[in-house]
Structure 1
């Protein structure tokens, strides 16, 4: 790893170790101080003049420089382990970071990878469902994954028992790409019987985790994992799950992230069909019978973005970012006006404004005024 990337990773991990620091605070601090090094070398009074940074948080950040040596030692050990595992770590600011995931509300700032994420994976569809599928569920998971793979669409899932495993395996058997998002460290394979599947996925796609090596697959990790599954995808297909199943959490994240939701209808007397049938009934998911139904609905997105001379069309944007750019037009507007025009609260609006600034599409002027560039 290059020295500057190594130093940035150490600084980022140092900041994330501070209580009260998450992606939103990181973006806000970077917007003001321009680099991780500047943040960690800033004084308490200067930090307190940053939006959302209280006196206590400013004190924690100012004292964080004392942790850097121990964090650096830990990062060195982590990188040595990753090299032995043939894995790597990337951050939100690296070119390899998935563009679709970059645009979700709470993006993971650090990802651990076994394998590689390619540009073609931007046309990915998630297939998720119960750990205990019926024969019908198994058959349909395999059918959809195979048909999507043969169209060059990456199949994304969670490496769990049941629907997830059948979807991954079918994609591999169809010589397609597949991405598994796990709820443990990249060196902790769960369930253990999926060790061979893990290896095949890393060779023909990628296994992804936001958790540090050594992290056990604790229950609280999986909801966080689910937001990444939907975040990496253009759409999410739900195949058999109970109303309170984990796949329904993924569907909820997909809805928040403005992703398409698809559901396979099932037997009304089968508990495994409760979730997809409910999503269809509530109008939150499109009923699908074949992979062609998904391809037709996603349309242009699966053919990549239409080519245009405008830079904004060459960069993947979330719905919220598109709304902000439309609201700005050729004007320079105060954040309160932008928030009002886009029907967002100020905090939410700032997150998307900072994301657009990192992409080089807008710039901030004094007084919380923003304009397109």
Structure 2
């Protein structure tokens, strides 16, 4: 793994966005290029106990933002954070992980492979020195960095005591935009995030909403793979209009697994989108 590099406050390459904090870190450590902080930066954070709905929505929105050129920032935790990082990387985009440990430590251990991917093609940041393990306040502390780096912070699912709400509060205090994915009013995972609407958070009901808040346009649609007959059948089936997965499988005359694989490939290349409702449609 590449060695960690120290950045001191006052250095030319110190991230300017962090200077908006009341107490910017005196020293940051990085693995990867700070160029990923140039251009639009969006934070996507949420609960470690994500629902299938939360994971699906995160993949859709993080992938769309990454394809449109935004850097996706998160905390590499289990649940929503990890899904956001993976979706950005799988879309061929950029992602930044702000850690509550030293940049050379993969935490949680189950994210070792993700840590390696980000170290290779993304950016790892921490105010803790290499080799440092997490302590009681390190994760809440790193949340303020996530909020400061991003022009927009999107909360996908956050229970009442979720650390993602700390990130949202920091973002609001810094006069950054905060967006929230609406969740069921009786779902514990969305209880805290839904309350943010009272504070003026923007409802994010589609990837288009998030792109609009950043002033971005969707990535240009990519042609389907001419050598993949399943992609062609799904594409032709969608010419009849948007459909849920069951309807799409019926129209395309494909078994669910093959249909889902084709849908995933077409979504990743920007040809189609999966709405929060589960509806699949052409872009």
For the superposition of Structure 1 and Structure 2, which TM-score range results when normalised by the shorter chain?
0.7 to 0.9
Q: Once the 2 structures are TM-superposed, how far is the Cα of residue 211 of structure 1 from its aligned partner? A: 0.5
State the SS of the aligned residue for 1:118. Answer: helix
Gaps of 5+ in 1: 1-83, 301-373
Query: Is structure 2 residue 136 aligned with structure 1 residue 219?
Result: yes
State the match for 2:208 in structure 1. Answer: 292
State the match for 2:163 in structure 1. Answer: 246
State the match for 1:150 in structure 2. Answer: 67
Q: Once the 2 structures are TM-superposed, how far is the Cα of residue 119 of structure 1 from its aligned partner? A: 5.9
State the match for 1:279 in structure 2. Answer: 196
> How far apart in 1 are the matches of 2:196 and 2:36?
31
State the SS of the aligned residue for 2:34. Answer: coil
Alignment CA distance shift 1:90-1:211 (3 Å): same
State the SS of the aligned residue for 1:252. Answer: helix
The partner residue of 1:136 within 53, 78, 89 is 53
> How far apart in 2 are the matches of 1:233 and 1:157?
10
What's the CA shift string for 1:110-135, capped at 9, x where partnerless? 11111111065341000000001000
> How far apart in 2 are the matches of 1:216 and 1:246?
18
> How far apart in 1 are the matches of 2:158 and 2:73?
17
Query: Is structure 2 residue 44 aligned with structure 1 residue 127?
Result: yes
> How far apart in 2 are the matches of 1:294 and 1:213?
34
What's the CA shift string for 1:191-246, capped at 9, x where partnerless? 01111111111222201000122221123111110000011100100011101100
Query: Is structure 2 residue 168 aligned with structure 1 residue 255?
Result: no
The 10-residue stretch of structure 1 (282-291 or 250-259) with the greater mean CA deviation from structure 2 = 282-291
> How far apart in 2 are the matches of 1:226 and 1:101?
12
Q: Once the 2 structures are TM-superposed, how far is the Cα of residue 97 of structure 1 from its aligned partner? A: 1.5
State the SS of the aligned residue for 1:243. Answer: coil
> How far apart in 2 are the matches of 1:120 and 1:208?
11
Query: Is structure 2 residue 82 aligned with structure 1 residue 168?
Result: no
State the match for 1:236 in structure 2. Answer: 153
State the SS of the aligned residue for 2:106. Answer: coil
State the match for 1:197 in structure 2. Answer: 114
Length, aligned pairs only: 216
State the SS of the aligned residue for 2:54. Answer: helix
| 4+ residue runs over 3 A deviation | 119-122
State the match for 2:22 in structure 1. Answer: 105
**Structure possessing the higher radius of gyration over alpha carbons:** 1
TM-score (ref. length: structure 1): 0.56
- Where relative contact order (Cα < 8 A, 6+ residues apart) is larger, the structure is 2
Gaps of 5+ in 2: 217-283
Where does 1:34-53 land on structure 2 (aligned, <5 Å)? Answer: none
State the match for 2:9 in structure 1. Answer: 92
More helix by share: 1
> How far apart in 2 are the matches of 1:137 and 1:215?
31
Contact 2:30–2:103 under 8 Å retained in 1: yes
Alignment CA distance shift 1:120-1:113 (3 Å): closer
Q: Once the 2 structures are TM-superposed, how far is the Cα of residue 298 of structure 1 from its aligned partner? A: 3.2
State the match for 1:184 in structure 2. Answer: 101
What's the CA shift string for 1:134-181, capped at 9, x where partnerless? 000000111110000010000000000000000000000001000000
Contact 1:113–1:208 under 8 Å retained in 2: yes
